[in-house]
Amino acid sequence: MKKIIFTIILIFITITTVINFINNVDAQTAPRFLTTWRSQNYAPSWYQGKVLATKGSWVYVSFDLIENGRIVDLSKNKVRWYVNDKLKRNEDDGLGIKNFYFGVDNYANDDINVRIVIVDYAEEQIGETIIIPLANPETVIGAPYSNRQLPNGTNIFNIYPFFFNVEDLNKLSFDWTVNGRPAESASGSADMLKLNIDNLAPSGFGINIQATIKNLADEMEFASNQIKLNVK
């Protein structure tokens, strides 16, 4: 009986070893795409997330093909690039094209599908599709006040633009309103508001702050946000 159990265990181990070996061989030999993309839109320097693309922005996509842990030389291969199933680049522009630069004409509710096809790799066709999400520009108001309670005296607010189609803040305009009335930005800092709360302001008095950011080169690109706070 013990010999039978030992034999069964040995057979199981052998089969498992063979399966793992086959899987490892496949993993080592199967080519895979290593793709990356970035947009040229603006985001604050402290932002660590992906800078999303918007309508009108430019997106750069590139890839490498990895096989057996090494980057494959595609200099003699035909590579075709599609955006939303429309052919954009192919071998007419040269062989081994591993990067692509294109402008976005979609709106934020339409993600972009970029498909890369190598038509003649090892006598077969292989490909990869990546989805590039689109967003609308955003305005974020920084209000570091616990429970949205404003103390008396001077209070500082910052606004941060996200995903605008600009390279720096100089291409943007910033507008503030407090309780529906225009408010001036801090001197020399259009993206900052200094709000003074009078000592006579009653506790619980509501303060509604709204900020709007506009692209100076494109009047259709703007974003607003507002926050409601109360005097302590």
**What does the pLDDT look like over 152-192, one tens digit per residue?**
999 999 999 999 999 889 999 999 999 999 998 887 789 99
Q: Taking 70 as the threshold, does the pLDDT of residue 14 lie above it?
A: no
Q: Are 232 and 150 in contact (CB under 8 A)?
A: yes
d(CA 80, CA 102): 14
Pick the closest to residue 59 from 129, 137, 138, 133 (CA basis). 133
> pLDDT (tens digit, 9 = 90+) per residue, 3-13?
333 333 334 44
Q: Which percentage of the chain shows pLDDT scores above 90?
A: 73
Phi, psi dihedrals of residue 2, rounded to the nearest 5°: -65, -35
- The domains of the chain, with CATH numbers, are 32-132 (2.60.40.10), 138-231 (2.60.40.10)
pTM over 0.85: no
> pLDDT (tens digit, 9 = 90+) per residue, 75-97?
999 999 999 999 999 999 999 99
pLDDT category of residue 112 using cuts at 50, 70 and 90: very high
- Number of helices (H) and strands (E) in the chain: give both, helices first: 1, 16
* Whole-number pLDDT of residue 28: 54
* Whole-number pLDDT of residue 12: 42
Q: Across residues 91-116, what is the average pLDDT?
A: 91
pLDDT category of residue 106 using cuts at 50, 70 and 90: confident
